[in-house]
């Protein structure tokens, strides 16, 4: 059962990685959810470790990391550079 779940997870991850979905991976300007979180984030931290600003920053970092992984995949495995596209 565990092997089947692991295989299903791997197949789902591969399908998502090949779709190029901007909602999951973001676009060339960054991840749209990460940008909206940055606009809504508090200007000053309250000083506590588990403040809302701290948690929102974690989500921003995760989403920006997904965007960077997508750029890496496209550049090195799909032969497409977002900074210098030769076709659109």
Domain ranges of the chain: 22-88
Q: Is 26 exposed, middle or buried (0-12, 13-18, 19+ CB in 10 A)?
A: buried
Round to whole Å and give the CA distance between 38 and 59: 10
Judge contact between 82 and 71, C-beta under 8 A.
yes
**What's the pLDDT tens digit per position in 26-74?**
766 677 777 777 777 776 666 666 677 778 888 888 888 888 888 888 8
**What's the pLDDT tens digit per position in 10-19?**
888 777 766 6
| Residue 23 pLDDT class (50, 70, 90 cuts) | low
Round to whole Å and give the CA distance between 84 and 18: 20
- pLDDT for the residue numbered 4: 92
- pLDDT for the residue numbered 77: 83
Q: What are phi and psi of 30, to 5 degrees?
A: 115, -175
pLDDT tops 90 at residue 8: yes
């Amino acid at each position: 059962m565990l092997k089947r779940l692991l295989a299903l997870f791997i197949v789902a991850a591969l399908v998502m990685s090949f779709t190029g979905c901007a909602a999951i991976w973001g676009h060339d300007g960054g991840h749209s959810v990460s940008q909206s979180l940055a606009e809504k984030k508090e200007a000053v931290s309250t000083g506590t470790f588990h403040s809302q600003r701290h948690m929102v920053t974690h989500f921003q970092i995760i989403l920006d990391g997904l965007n960077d992984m997508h750029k890496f995949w496209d550049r090195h495995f799909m032969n497409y550079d977002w900074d210098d596209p030769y076709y659109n």
